Structure 1
Amino acid sequence: MSLSNCQGCGVLHIQQKNVLCNDCLKQYIEETHIIKDFLYNHPHANVMDLVNETGFSLKKVKELVNW
């Protein structure tokens, strides 16, 4: 274990396995579930459909989908 800054919000935390603090990790998981649910219900959706329907920025969608 070591101290590091969260890559999401910058807060100092004890890094165990994740580079995100617990709050940012929880938010990241919730956002990925939103993307996953949308894609499950709309399998032919494109990136711009995700941006328009979820309200996430293009950068955020690419980050969550790992493009």
Structure 2
Amino acid sequence: MNLRNCPQCGKLYVHTIRNLCPECLKKDEEDFGRVRDFIYNNPQASLEEVSEETGVSTKSILEYLKEGRLMLRSNNVNILLSCELCGEPILTGRICEKCSSKFKRELTSRKKPMFVDEDMKGKIHLSKFSRDERRR
């Protein structure tokens, strides 16, 4: 059993997928629903207006966007979210498609394997051991 303290209220709870206790998770889902509905019905609203009308903090609204749970439409011009790498405007997440594909290309083009060959681990260890034995 994986017990943790809720980062919002401090209560001890059994950790599942989300990092909140059941009570805070329920409140977060309700807040998310209010924000989603308000933005859908008021696409020209600013971040501050959304926060004021829904009672949800701007920090939480930005987290919904960065987590990918909430996506702006192209006509949501008053809420600005930008790529953390290049600064381009984005509708959801943390990085734009261009930076994401560039990052994926760099990962797949690496020449060195990221993991050591499992068959070689023992041979390398044993060869070092046998050298040490010969020195004695």
TM bucket by the smaller chain? 0.7 to 0.9
Q: Which has the larger radius of gyration?
A: 2
Deviations 1:3-36 (A, max 9, x none): 1101121101111222101000000000000000
Hey, what does 1:5 align to over in structure 2? 5
Letter in 2 for 1:21: C
- Root-mean-square deviation (CA, aligned residues, Å) is 1.8
Contact 1:9 1:24 in 2 (8 A): yes
Contact 2:39 2:45 in 1 (8 A): yes
Hey, what does 1:43 align to over in structure 2? 43
Structure 1 distance, partners of 2:52, 2:19, is: 29
What is the CA distance between 1:62 and its match in structure 2?
2.9
Contact 2:31 2:54 in 1 (8 A): no
What is the CA distance between 1:53 and its match in structure 2?
1.5
Hey, what does 2:31 align to over in structure 1? 31
Contact 1:31 1:64 in 2 (8 A): no
Give the 3-state SS of the residue equivalent to 1:7 in structure 2. Answer: coil
Q: Are 2:20 and 1:20 equivalent residues in the alignment? A: yes
Tell me, which stretches of 5 or more residues in structure 2 are unaligned? 67-80, 82-136
Hey, what does 1:53 align to over in structure 2? 53
The two structures have a TM-score, normalised by structure 1, of 0.80
Alignment coverage as a number of residue pairs: 67
Larger RCO (CA under 8 A, 6+ residues apart): 1
The two structures have a TM-score, normalised by structure 2, of 0.43
